[in-house]
Amino acid sequence: MKTSNKVEFGDFQTPLALAHEVCELIRRLGEDPNVVVEPTAGRGAFLVAAADKFPSATLRGWEINCDYVTDATVALDTANVSSRSSMTCQDFFTCDWEAVLAAQDGRVLILGNPPWVTNSGVAAIDGTNLPVKENFMGLRGIAARTGKSNFDISEWMLIRLLRGLRGRPATLAMLCKTATARKFLRYAWQNDGRIAAATLYRIDAAEHFDASVDACLLYLRTGSAGPQEADIYPSLSAREPVSRIGLAGEELVADIRAYRALRHLEGLSPFRWRSGVKHDCAAIMELVRTPDGGVENADGQGLDLEADYLFPMLKCSDLANGRTIAKRLVIVTQRFVGDDTAAIARHAPRTWTYLQTHRDRFQARKSSIYKGRVPFALFGIGEYAFAPWKVAVSGLHRSGRFQVVGPMNGQPVFFDDASYYLPFEREEDAQLVADILNSPLCQRFLASLVFTDSKRPFTVELLQRLNLAVIANDAGFGLRWQQLQRSNFAISANLPQIEFVMEEPGRST
Ligand SMILES: C[S@@+](CC[C@H](N)C(=O)[O-])C[C@H]1O[C@@H](n2cnc3c(N)ncnc32)[C@H](O)[C@@H]1O
């Protein structure tokens, strides 16, 4: 199969041994289905394993790739179960799942491993293996344009199958990315999906699929609304869960019991968390110092630029590793969103020439947020970005270590757009807030909220949920907090800037 086909169809066939292990677990959990439905059956590993573990069940498979349908049919023949099995060549997206599922008598087990690909992954290779209405969960506007409408095809399929069940009692057992399972559960719990019970069993995707992603078996029973919580088992064979996730208000939390004990620490942050500067043009905009005191860009091009638009910059990996001395520089072309960049030509002609030389790189920026903007436009800038002191954290690392970052050579330090921060005028205020955030109490609360296996464990939305006043009090910083409140310390929390809280296209939480 061509690589692009494999990508477009999320084609990672399940090894037979893993399919057997899953079916064995399901049987141990007491399942005894009359019908096994495999909606994207591939070469039939799950149907063959189910034939063995559920000797009286009817086995029904659907699959878009007709060669695989032939392979699966042969495999079922070889297993001597052709009389109780069928395979159909069918595109999942054009199948009437309500009708298909309604036609199955008795207890239904929906089993399998839907495609491992996102809609943007399919679009990137000009593929068409997509549901008709991409924006299916009603995400609109800036959230959609900045990538929040990106979703896993399997998430869409799981929701489609759940809807197809129309609240009927059934069991669903499917391999998927752990993040997909969580998003699906959140959707189902929020939309009366009639999930009676749900459990996640982690699997080793590297071992079974040669894929570096957190994956699991999502196992659930439908038919009535049960607790909006799911135990997480570390493996298919584990007998004890390691944690329990759950829905807390609108959001999922990683440890629902710890969250309940600490939820009084949740509320509105008194400050507004900010994302680092977004330019989507690192090769041109991010520079390093050379030993002779000059600067060069990522292409190794030596540059002689005016100092006016150059600022020290830390990457999220610097923050995660405790590095607060910036080795990089970033060209900051605007002071606030929408600022006219033409002024650079007058104030810093060499910088302007450099930018103009690489104009095509800026015009090629994919994100639609740059459309209709002035040349070399940025996001994640405003008065706050020029504040001298900051408390910053990497969004991409699980450590959740908050760093105090001060000015370098009198200049404020900038961050990349995978970092989040609070701006301050005074070092002591930044230090106090960092101490509060790094306190064991706050870290425990964050651990209850954060899914460390997600691509971006920390987001502005998450940080915004920390009620720093209560945390300060409970963590023993009450007096200092009151002093800080009395001083006029922070850059205004309500600057009229457009805040772009971004999830990178192709990333999912
Ligand atoms: C991750 S593989 C798993 C195959 C099989 N379920 C297994 O566990 O071995 C995903 C399968 O979904 C199939 N597929 C992808 N898009 C599909 C679609 N739109 N309709 C039906 N099947 C599809 C692929 O051809 C592939 O066989």
The DSSP symbol for 382 reads S
* Burial grade of 292 (CB within 10 A; 0-12, 13-18, 19 or more): exposed
> How is 186-228 classified by DSSP, letter by letter?
HHHHHTT--EEEEEEEEE-HHHHHS--S-EEEEEEEESS---S
pLDDT-based confidence at residue 137 (cuts at 50, 70, 90): low
Topology at the third CATH level for domain 3-223 = Rossmann fold (3.40.50)
Question: In the prediction, which pLDDT does 484 show?
Answer: 84
Q: What is the distance in A from the centroid of ligand 1 to the CA of 232?
A: 25
How is the chain split among helix, strand and coil, in percent rounded to 5? 35, 20, 45
The amino acid present at 268, given as its one-letter code, is L
| DSSP state letters, 135-148 | -TT---HHHIIIII
Q: Give pLDDT, residue 341.
A: 95
10 CA to middle of ligand 1, Å? 7
| DSSP code string of 287-319 | EEE-TTS-EEETT--EE---GGGEEEEE-HHHH
Please report the atom of ligand 1 found closest to the CA of residue 12: 1
CA gap 172, 466 in Å, rounded: 36
Q: What's the whole-number mean pLDDT along residues 96-125?
A: 93
Say how many C-beta atoms besides its own lie within 10 A of residue 206's C-beta: 11
Residue nearest ligand 1's atom 4 by CA: 42
Q: Is the CB of 68 under 6 A from ligand 1?
A: yes
- Give the pLDDT score at 497: 33
Are 489 and 391 within 8 A, CB to CB? no
Please write the tens of the pLDDT for every residue from 315-374: 999 999 999 999 999 999 999 998 999 999 999 999 999 999 999 999 999 888 998 999
Instruction: Pick the residue whose CA is nearest to atom 13 on ligand 1.
Output: 40
Give yes or no for residue 148 having a pLDDT over 60.
no
Label residue 250 by pLDDT band (50, 70, 90): confident
In angstroms, what is the span from residue 16 Cα to ligand 1's centroid? Answer: 15
Cβ of 63 closer than 6 Å to ligand 1, yes or no, is yes
Q: What is the mean pLDDT of the chain?
A: 90
Which H or E element spans position 478?
helix 478-486
CB of 379 closer than 6 A to ligand 1? Answer: no
Distance 309 CA to ligand 1 centre (A): 51
Residue range 117-125: mean pLDDT, rounded: 84
Listed residue (244, 271, 273) closest to 259, CA to CA: 244
Residue % of the chain over a pLDDT of 90: 79
Q: How confident is the model at residue 1 (pLDDT cuts 50, 70, 90)?
A: low
Ligand 1 close to Cβ of residue 64 (< 6 A): yes
> What is the reported pTM?
0.84
- β 286-289/328-331 pair status: antiparallel
Please say if the pLDDT value at position 378 is more than 50: yes
Q: How do residues 180-221 score in pLDDT, each as one tens digit?
A: 999 999 999 999 889 999 999 999 999 999 999 999 999 999
Measured from the CA of 129, which atom of ligand 1 is nearest? 19
- In DSSP terms, which residues pair with 421 in a beta bridge? 274, 392
Cβ distance 467 to 266 under 8 Å? yes
Predicted confidence (pLDDT) per residue in 379-426, tens digit = 999 999 999 999 999 999 998 999 999 999 999 999 999 999 999 999
Mutate to test the pocket of ligand 1, among 64, 69, 76, 156 (most ligand atoms within 8 A of CB): 64
Is 65's C-beta closer than 6 angstroms to any atom of ligand 1?
yes
Q: Where in the chain is the domain with CATH 3.40.50.150?
A: 3-223
Displacement of CA 200 from its chain's centroid (Å):
18
Does the Cβ of 113 fall within 6 Å of ligand 1? Answer: yes
- Give 408 or 146, the one with higher predicted confidence: 408
